[in-house]
């Protein structure tokens, strides 16, 4: 009896081990588990390699008696910046100088995206026009601009602006003057009414966007159409005009006047900013035009024939039939082009516009902290590119046609 009990205990333990081995084999034999293990192994190798590379760099820098760290950011910058969106002086820290460069980069990027998108859409629509002359002009525009490197665009416009007349022989424009020192034009004089009007305009744009989302929800979920055109017009146009009228209807302008060798008053767009903006915007607009052309041509012809059969005008066909369907094709490559435009802003170092890369180069030459400066630039451009991609992905979800 004892021997039989021992045999049964051995058999039970063997079965337990076999069951455990089978469960482990089943667990690690799963494709998802193997994929997760491989990814964890790869992540560990990348972390180890990065740590080894960082330690090697730090050791070499210490051997050459070069200090490391970001403590220098609290030291005075001791250099001036020609264009700033916030107050800045040479006694401010390197941190504030980098903030100035970041804001300048963001400013020229946003302006470039707006200008490139407008030009790209106009040229892209012209590419599919039935007017032979307009179509050929748009084709020439695209082929000429996109086959020239972007840095040559920036240098070309910088040379063009530098060869404009001096302020005493300025080219008169409606409300301003064009010289080799930039474009100077009239702006509203300082008045609280203009500030409230601007705030009303921003609030109207936000409310208009929210109302569009609400109208789309009602149209898709409840099959009810809201009068979006009139309400959005009231929010964006009528609301700022009402605020402007209630705040006293200010109309005084700060006009530029020639005093000495330059203009005083008004607002001046510098030659460096203008050259950079035109260079990266025109170059990107050629690619955006091709993206728009491809998106428009992706719309089935049956949709166009149905819209014409319903007596839609060409404007309504493009606005309500073609563009909404083409946006599904256009948004992903547009996001890539916007990210590329943001990174192309670093070309400003060749013409002296004080954006992030230019200021970082000056900081490196003064402090010798090349590794830290490059790391800061990499993180900033990564944040700009990631934010742009995130916003475009959200916009892509908004324009996507959802099946019921």
Separation CA 340–CA 109 (nearest Å): 10
Q: Is the dihedral of CA 137, 139, 140, 146 positive or negative?
A: positive
pLDDT digits (tens, 9 = 90+) for 219-262: 777 667 677 777 888 888 888 888 888 888 787 777 787 777 77
pLDDT at residue 50, as a whole number: 84
Separation CA 404–CA 396 (nearest Å): 18
Q: How confident is the model at residue 98 (pLDDT cuts 50, 70, 90)?
A: very high
- Going by C-alpha positions, the residue among 209, 206, 226 that lies closest to residue 218 is 226
Nearest 10 degrees: CA dihedral of 6, 11, 12, 14?
130
Which DSSP string do the residues of 104-136 spell out, in sequence order? Answer: HHHHHHHHHHHHHHHHHHHHHHHHT-S-HHHHH
pLDDT digits (tens, 9 = 90+) for 124-145: 999 988 888 999 999 999 999 9
Answer yes or no: are the C-beta atoms of 388 and 343 closer than 8 Å: no
Q: What is the pTM of this model?
A: 0.78
Separation CA 374–CA 361 (nearest Å): 9
The whole-number average pLDDT for the span 2-19 is: 54
Q: Which uninterrupted H or E stretch holds 172? A: strand 171-173
Answer yes or no: are the C-beta atoms of 183 and 160 closer than 8 Å: no
Phi-psi region of 128 (alpha: psi -120 to 50; beta: other; left: phi over 0): alpha
């Amino acid at each position: 009896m004892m021997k039989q009990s021992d045999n049964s205990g051995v058999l039970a333990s063997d079965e337990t081990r076999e069951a455990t081995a089978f469960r482990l084999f089943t667990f690690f034999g799963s494709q998802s588990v193997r994929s997760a293990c491989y990814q964890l192994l790869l992540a560990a190798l990348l972390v180890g390699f990065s740590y080894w590379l960082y330690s090697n760099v730090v050791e070499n820098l210490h051997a050459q008696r070069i200090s490391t760290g970001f403590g220098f950011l609290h030291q005075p910058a001791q250099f001036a910046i020609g264009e700033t969106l916030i107050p800045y002086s040479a006694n401010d820290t390197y941190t504030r100088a980098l903030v100035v460069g970041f804001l300048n980069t963001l400013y020229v990027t946003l302006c470039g995206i707006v200008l490139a998108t407008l030009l790209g859409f106009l040229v892209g629509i012209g590419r599919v026009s039935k007017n032979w002359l307009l179509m050929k002009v748009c084709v020439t525009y695209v082929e000429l601009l996109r086959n020239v490197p972007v840095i040559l665009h920036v240098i070309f416009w910088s040379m063009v602006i530098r060869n404009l007349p001096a302020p005493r022989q300025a080219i008169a424009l409606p409300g301003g003057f064009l010289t080799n020192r930039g474009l100077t034009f009239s702006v509203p004089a300082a008045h609280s009414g203009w500030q409230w009007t601007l705030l009303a305009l921003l609030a109207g744009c936000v409310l208009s966007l929210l109302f569009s989302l609400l109208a789309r929800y009602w149209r898709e979920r409840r099959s009810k159409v809201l009068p979006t055109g009139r309400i959005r017009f009231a929010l964006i146009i009528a609301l700022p005009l009402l605020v402007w009228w209630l705040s006293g209807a200010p109309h005084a302008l700060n006009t530029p006047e020639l005093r000495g060798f330059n203009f005083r008053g008004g607002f001046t767009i510098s030659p460096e900013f203008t050259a950079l903006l035109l260079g990266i915007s025109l170059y990107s607009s050629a690619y955006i035009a091709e993206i728009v052309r491809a998106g428009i041509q992706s719309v089935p012809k049956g949709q166009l024939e149905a819209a014409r059969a319903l007596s839609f005008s060409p404007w309504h066909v493009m606005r309500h039939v073609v563009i909404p369907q083409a946006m599904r094709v256009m948004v992903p490559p547009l996001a890539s082009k916007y990210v590329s435009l943001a990174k192309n802003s670093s070309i400003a170092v060749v013409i002296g516009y004080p954006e992030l890369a230019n200021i970082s180069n000056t900081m490196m030459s003064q402090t010798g902290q090349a590794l830290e400066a490059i790391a800061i630039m990499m993180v900033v451009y990564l944040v700009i590119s990631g934010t742009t991609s995130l916003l475009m992905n959200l916009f892509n979800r908004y324009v996507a046609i959802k099946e019921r």
